[in-house]
Structure 1
Amino acid sequence: MRVRKGRRQKADGGQGAEVRPEAPGATPGLAVELRGVRRQYGRGAGTVHALAGIDLGLRRGTFTAVMGPSGSGKSTFLQCAAGLDRPTAGSVRLGGTEITGMSENELTELRRSRLGFVFQAFNLLPSLTVEQNVLLPMRLAGQRQERRRAEEVLARVGLADKARRRPGELSGGQQQRVAVARALITAPDVIFADEPTGALDTGTAAEVLGLLRDAVDTLGATVVMVTHDPTAAAWADRVLFLADGAFADRLERGSAEGIAARMTALTSRAPREATAAGVTV
């Protein structure tokens, strides 16, 4: 996979904002970097090892899906990678910036200005218009709210005529399109998607996944998506499979059928066959 270097494009398709310098020790070209990341809950005999020493590097401008059986650590992985939860050990870098030691205020600022999120439940504010929901990350980050920018990203997701509507006036698929536009508005280092099609029918899900795919292919965005759906995962450049808090397998450009077969094989393995070996893709 060719590494995109030197510049990052904005969500409106124009020239990118200045690329931020890499932190000391960061690997150039990586949008997401986890080294020795562990997350455990509880103590003593009741300790749960949700992540068992993750080493992962995801290059800029790529689309990665993460799958695994229930309890494999998918949600914990996303939360630690996105700065929503703190690992018990190890380091996390996003866009070359070390986030592990950041304060809660610093993490909040980083999430607002440099990360995008798309969740299964849409998470739109019902009292705000579509345009206001899209501009919310810029407002919360104290940035200038550019209506022209909102118009451009709404046009990209096919909702140019819905800017003045409220979320309750839209279908579920349209609301998720608004969520994608909101994720794109700040031209983030990474877009994290957590089961983004879980509440959508098959046709609408394909439309939303096509938008995420287009963001990678035409805007140089980096997307990390947690999903249980092999059809959704097939839109990604690669699929990483988690088991018992460690990466157990990977598949490049897999079909839905091939991904489903890997998942079946994974769930039939003995628990200790998972490995925490490093992955850079």
Structure 2
Amino acid sequence: MRLRSTRRQKADDRPEAPAATTSGLAVELRGVQRQYGRGAGTVHALAGVDLALARGTFTAVMGPSGSGKSTFLQCAAGLDRPTSGLVALGGTEITGMSEDELTELRRNRVGFVFQAFNLLPSLTVEQNVLLPMRLAGRRQDRRRAAEVLAQVGLADKARRRPGELSGGQQQRVAVARALVTSPDVIFADEPTGALDTGTATDVLGLLRNAVDTLGATVVMVTHDPVAAAWADRALFLADGAFADHLERGSAERIAARMAMLTSRRGAMAGAAA
């Protein structure tokens, strides 16, 4: 993993032309900035981010409220366009893609797990899992659905509907849906935020197993140090830039690093006031 954050010193600086992407990487960001608004009201949600994540890794992204976590995930996953810079998934640059091309890429090569599960209540568990294939116009492979449902421990729930399942089981369905197309990367946005501790552990174990056994790549945004401790590394965002990282950190070390970052940010804000 290579990590570097840059901040441009002048508003009229122009980013250099991006070099070719690196095919061995699952996620690559170079000089990514995302701004909202103009003039004095401009918000620099991402202030120049460089990041390279290898395939088959589990990365947690943390940071105080307003640090840019959601914007990072949206830009990295092709859900939002950066103001400048390069984003590539699986060696394919997505920055200049049309909306139709981005939609096709997300359906075929990206998996998503959200805090709110985002399952369709009128569909069965099997139909929810197969939805990415259906939306992509691909043959709906029921054997593949059965395979991923078995991997998440729900082989006997294929005919059920989401409303008949517990919250933890619904999140397992969401993980199976994310795995069904064997995507280049799975983006998880607070995947355990709505779960109790025991169920959260089960879901995090599934994501960890997807990386270790299936060779998946997982990028997880979380506020929970316990969840982040399941990852290979934790990256810490502050004011739209990566400020720190921790390899294979325990929940205690991650929590301490977050507290230090939040305290430092608060002190800087107080000095500027």
The alignment covers a number of residue pairs equal to 252
1:232-247 correspondence to structure 2 within 5 Å = 232-247=227-242
Taking structure 2 as the reference length, what is the TM-score of the superposition? 0.90
Q: 1:251, 1:245 → 2: CA distance?
A: 18
Q: Specify the SS of the correspondent of 2:49.
A: strand
Instruction: In structure 2, give the amino acid aligned to 1:143.
Output: R
TM superposition shift of 1:269: 1.1
The equivalent position to 2:156 in structure 1, one of 155, 161, 180, is: 161
Q: 2:176, 2:227 → 1: CA distance?
A: 19
The equivalent position to 1:179 in structure 2, one of 174, 179, 182, is: 174
Corresponding residue for residue 87 of structure 2? 92
Contact 2:23 2:90 in 1 (8 A): no
Corresponding residue for residue 201 of structure 2? 206
Q: 2:22, 2:47 → 1: CA distance?
A: 22
Corresponding residue for residue 81 of structure 1? 76
**Identical residues among aligned pairs (%):** 87
1:125-274 correspondence to structure 2 within 5 Å = 125-270=120-265
Corresponding residue for residue 7 of structure 1? none
Contact 1:243 1:271 in 2 (8 A): no
Q: Specify the SS of the correspondent of 2:264.
A: coil
Contact 2:238 2:265 in 1 (8 A): no
TM superposition shift of 1:28: 3.5
Instruction: In structure 2, give the amino acid aligned to 1:240.
Output: L
Instruction: In structure 2, give the amino acid aligned to 1:220.
Output: G
Q: Specify the SS of the correspondent of 2:96.
A: coil
Q: 1:24, 1:174 → 2: CA distance?
A: 43
Deviations 1:212-268 (A, max 9, x none): 000000010000000000000000000000000000000000000000000000011
Q: 2:152, 2:120 → 1: CA distance?
A: 19
Q: 2:136, 2:265 → 1: CA distance?
A: 46
Give structure 1 regions of 4+ aligned residues with deviation exceeding 3 angstroms: 270-273
Taking structure 1 as the reference length, what is the TM-score of the superposition? 0.88
Corresponding residue for residue 39 of structure 1? 34
Q: 2:207, 2:217 → 1: CA distance?
A: 9
Moved more, 262-271 or 78-87: 262-271
Q: 1:157, 1:108 → 2: CA distance?
A: 26
Deviations 1:168-203 (A, max 9, x none): 000000000000000000000000000000000000
